């Protein structure tokens, strides 16, 4: 497959204080959203938006991906990815005061694109800006670890600061009797989570559960001003750690829902470490945007770029192959 458009994957500096227009997802489609979401409605959504003249493109891309998988090229590609070295320093994450904020000692944000908390005594959080430019559009993410008990305040402060509207959580709080992520949200509407010494309150407005997704509607209130921000928390519940879902279709539906509900700000994506399932989801999402622009893409180059922004993105060869599977399944859904 022609790889000429990979040069469009360019890092961006999001650490400036310049005012920029409110970010809107390029994968959002004009579609009305019901007050109560259902699995039937989710299953009715188009997984991919391709122009009517895209039949030949779909066939060519699908053939190329199938051929690569049949020749077992993804396994060699993943081996090559594992040889990549870190591309930047992680000085901030290794400071004494910050080490206790890292869930895993070997999964750290690069200094160059780490999220910095403003107005805080300590600006550190284990989170990284991940931005992708494709033609005249941009996908913006924040990849982070699952919060620890001592980083819950930092997480919500980051969401407020970055004007986040959607959080994609890809882990359960406990998996195989091991804590993977602290339960950082209120369990019921009658509970209030006070953060930052009472400067902010986090409330669960309502919630609902689908087959593979728990949906939480959360409000963050800045108590001194009374200003409220609304966040939709989407928890994908059936993706095993270090493994892959049985089918890619629910993940593709999850991504469609994610962009439909997005109203601004970078999309926060986290699992436990913030690199395995998170890296896989972002890789698939980026590939989908290439398809929607009817542009050639290369999964190896996408993951390579992600690893330049956050070391270790996609942890296993099965997760890497799953990205191919998801791309093939979405193309098959379009091809009919």
Tokens linked to 77: 């590609």
Q: Are 43 and 213 in contact (CB under 8 A)?
A: no
Show which residues are catalytic: 271
Q: Are 115 and 122 in contact (CB under 8 A)?
A: no
Cα separation of 268 and 166, whole Å?
7
Q: Report CA-CA distances (Å) from 19 to 43, 142, 166, 204, 254.
A: 38, 19, 21, 30, 31
Cα separation of 276 and 316, whole Å?
7
DSSP string, 97-151: HHHTT-SSTT----STTEEE-TTSSS-EEEEEEEEEEETTEEEEEEEEPPPPGGG
Cα separation of 321 and 9, whole Å?
21
Cα separation of 274 and 296, whole Å?
27
Give bridge partners of residue 220 from the DSSP assignment: 202, 229
DSSP string, 234-264: EEE----TTS--S-SHHHHHHHHHHHHH--S
Would you say the C-alpha torsion 273, 151, 194, 22 has a positive or negative sign? negative
């Amino acid at each position: 497959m022609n790889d000429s458009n990979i040069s469009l994957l360019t890092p961006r500096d999001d650490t400036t204080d310049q005012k920029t227009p409110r970010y809107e997802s390029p994968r959002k489609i004009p579609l009305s959203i019901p007050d109560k979401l259902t699995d039937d409605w989710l299953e009715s959504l188009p997984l991919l938006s391709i122009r009517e003249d895209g039949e030949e493109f779909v066939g060519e891309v699908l053939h190329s991906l199938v051929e690569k998988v049949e020749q077992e090229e993804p396994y060699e590609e993943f081996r090559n990815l594992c040889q990549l070295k870190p591309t930047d320093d992680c000085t901030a994450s290794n400071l004494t005061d910050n080490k206790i904020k890292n869930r895993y000692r070997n999964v750290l944000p690069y200094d160059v694109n780490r999220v910095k908390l403003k107005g805080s005594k300590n600006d550190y959080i284990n989170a990284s800006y991940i931005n992708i430019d494709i033609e005249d559009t941009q996908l913006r993410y924040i990849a982070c670890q699952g919060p620890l008990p001592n980083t819950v305040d930092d997480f919500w402060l980051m969401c407020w600061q970055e004007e986040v509207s959607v959080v994609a959580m890809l882990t359960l709080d406990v998996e195989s009797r091991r804590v993977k992520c602290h339960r950082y949200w209120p369990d019921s509407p009658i509970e209030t989570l006070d953060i930052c010494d009472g400067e902010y309150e986090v409330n669960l407005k309502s919630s609902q559960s689908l087959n593979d997704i728990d949906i939480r509607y959360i409000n963050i209130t800045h108590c001194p001003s009374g200003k409220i921000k609304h966040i939709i928390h989407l928890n994908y519940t059936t993706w095993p750690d270090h493994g892959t879902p049985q089918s890619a279709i629910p993940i593709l539906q999850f991504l469609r829902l994610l962009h439909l509900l997005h109203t601004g700000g970078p999309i926060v994506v986290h699992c436990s470490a913030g690199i395995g399932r998170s890296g896989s989801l972002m890789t698939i999402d980026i590939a989908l945007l290439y398809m929607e622009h009817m542009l050639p893409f290369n999964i190896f180059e996408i993951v390579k770029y992600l690893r330049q922004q956050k070391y270790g993105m996609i942890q296993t060869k099965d997760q890497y192959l799953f990205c191919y599977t998801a791309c093939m399944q979405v193309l098959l859904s379009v091809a009919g």
